[in-house]
Copies of this chain bind each other. A is one copy, B any other.
Amino acid sequence: MNKPRTAIEPTREENYPEWYQSVLKAADLAEHSPVRGCMVIKPWGYSLWENIQRVLDRRFKETGHQNAYFPLFIPLSFLEKEAQHVEGFAKECAVVTHHRLEKGPDGKLIPAGELEEPLIVRPTSEMIIGHSFSKWIESYRDLPLLINQWANVVRWEMRTRMFLRTAEFLWQEGHTAHATKEEAEIETMRMLDVYADFCHDYLAMPVIRGEKTPAERFPGAAATYTIEAMMQDRKALQAGTSHFLGQNFARSCNISFTNEQGEREFAWTTSWGSTTRLIGAMIMTHSDDDGLVLPPKIASAHLVLIPVVHNVERKAAILAYCEALAAELRRARFDDRPLDVLVDARDQRSGEKNWHWIKKGIPLRLEVGEREMESSQLSLLRRDRPHKERLSLARSDLAARIPHILQEIQDNLLAKATAFRDQHTVRIDSLDAFRQFFASETPGFALCHWNEDPAHEAKVKEELNVTIRCIPLHTPDETGRCIFTGEPSPRRVIFAKSY
């Protein structure tokens, strides 16, 4: 039997990493740049980030945070104040050493004006924001201090993949300071929940909330919490992190305050971040062998009208009908924004146009030809249904029906992704079964007992390229025996291969 033709080659099953690159290309989301490890985010991809930003920014503000902006550069001496922190980033940072260019002996431009102290392009901003916090905070009345920054950061990763791991990426980083340990812990969990709910409600991507093991903590943190999602190759992807920093960074940056008793104390701080990686996660969760599939709440646009012109003399009339219909539909709303409706007026066959928009992942397509104009019944095509399945709808019902259909697609995507994740999550209770499970190319998540010994954690990472993704927060405690040592264990943790 011949394999059915797909718009994307190779398919997910044939070669998942190449499929991913092909989907990006076919949907025109992003491309490699001539700068090593950096990407260009094209308009269709950038609009996904704008939609993510709009929703997250609103949620941050609803939870009491304010935006601010801090310098791109961090003096080397600042990074060095926290030993673990600098060690975590020293191997992969962009270093600015000069502040101008001048003509060298051969007439070519060379760096000149050497800086007294090298500047690091921020890989994260704890140290530079901590410096400001140390000046802004005097008394307990200044707490909590709840700040967020939307910015670009640079980590000189050697192996990059668009959206998932690039040298420069866009993100938001929250930084907060509190008077007590408990308040900082509550904040850490609150923001983890904001991320998890966002992934669930907007990206239609189920995530598991959990704590990272000490080996996987953010450099300098007291505890790191994560949300982990399963991609269609059954690998785990860390989709956001929230760190309880204890008083570590407060000590390094001297963030202290006078408490109600008039004594000086170090503050308790947190930081939390999510990045353009969320776009990669969304793509790898929902897309299929015909290209991008977008959850409607985050989609770049909701609906495209495709004029079907058989007789060129009727083209102007059909386009005018489409524009009028589009204007009408744009008055309806879905979730927090007006319906975003496109009209594809290009001179192409409607079949070509349909495939164009299938690959770009638009949730709905509406074909409009002479027949539809006359009968006022339009054919709606859904990205989450077979490509030729037409749903006939009366024009008069469209504005009311479309938001419901979009919500249905949103719900379907979440249900499908959740079922997939659950189907590929297994409980494993012996080391043999564990090794066998992870010998597969596409294993999934393994829930296993582990006695918290980092040596065994390091060994499976080394031997099998498998890591503990997290110690889940919301699973019932279940005692058992560690699969490595047979020792008693209070709960299962999640092992997986990962991005």
Interface residues of A (CB under 8 A from B): 31, 33-35, 38-43, 46-47, 49-50, 66-76, 78-80, 86, 90-102, 109-111, 113, 118-121, 128, 131-132, 135, 147, 151-152, 154, 156, 168, 170
Question: Considering the chains assembled together, what is the distance between the CA atoms of A98 and B33 in angstroms?
Answer: 19
A113 to B: closest C-beta gap in Å:
8
Interface centre among A67, A95, A131, A147, by most B CB within 10 Å?
A: A95
A154 to B183, CA, bound (A): 38
Decide if A71 touches B118 in the complex (CB within 8 Å): no
Nearest CB on B from A255, distance (A): 15
Contact A99 B95 (CB under 8 A): yes
Q: Contact at B109–A100, with CB atoms within 8 Å?
A: no
Q: How many copies does the complex hold?
A: 2
| Cβ-defined contact, A68 with B41, below 8 A | yes
Chain B hits for A93, CB < 8 A: 99-101
* A170 CA to B96 CA, complexed, in Å: 19
Given the known A-B contacts A35-B74, A96-B95, A98-B95, are A90 and B68 also in contact in the complex, defined by CB atoms under 8 Å? no
Q: How far is the CA of A120 from the CA of B110 in the complex (A)?
A: 11
Contact indicator A71/B109 (Cβ below 8 Å): no
Residues of B within 8 A of A168 (CB): 71-73
Cα A31 to Cα B43 in complex, Å, equals: 34
Q: CB < 8 Å: which of B40, B76, B91 contacts A70? A: B40
- Do B99 and A96 touch (CB < 8 A)? no
- Distance in Å from the Cβ of A84 to the closest Cβ of chain B? 14
Q: Is the CB of B94 within 8 A of A73?
A: yes
Contact in complex: B46, A68 (CB < 8 Å): yes
A70 CB, min distance to chain B CBs, angstroms: 5
Rounded to whole Å, the gap between the CB of A46 and the closest CB of chain B is 5
A154:B72 contact, CB within 8 angstroms: yes
> For residue A68, which residues in chain B have a CB less than 8 angstroms away from its CB?
40-43, 46
Instruction: State A488–B280 Cα separation when bound (angstroms).
Output: 64
Contact A128/B35 with A94-B96, A152-B152 known, Cβ cut-off 8 Å: yes
Residue of B nearest to A141 (CB): B346
Does B97 contact A92, Cβ atoms closer than 8 Å? Answer: no
Pull 11 A–B residue pairs with CB atoms less than 8 Å apart, ordered by A: A35-B74, A35-B128, A43-B67, A46-B68, A72-B168, A76-B109, A93-B100, A95-B98, A96-B97, A97-B111, A110-B118
Closest CB in chain B relative to A277 CB, distance in Å: 14
Beyond known contacts A49-B69, A95-B111: 16 more, CB 8 A cutoff: A35-B73, A35-B128, A40-B68, A41-B70, A43-B147, A46-B67, A69-B170, A73-B168, A86-B109, A90-B100, A92-B99, A95-B96, A95-B101, A96-B121, A97-B98, A100-B156
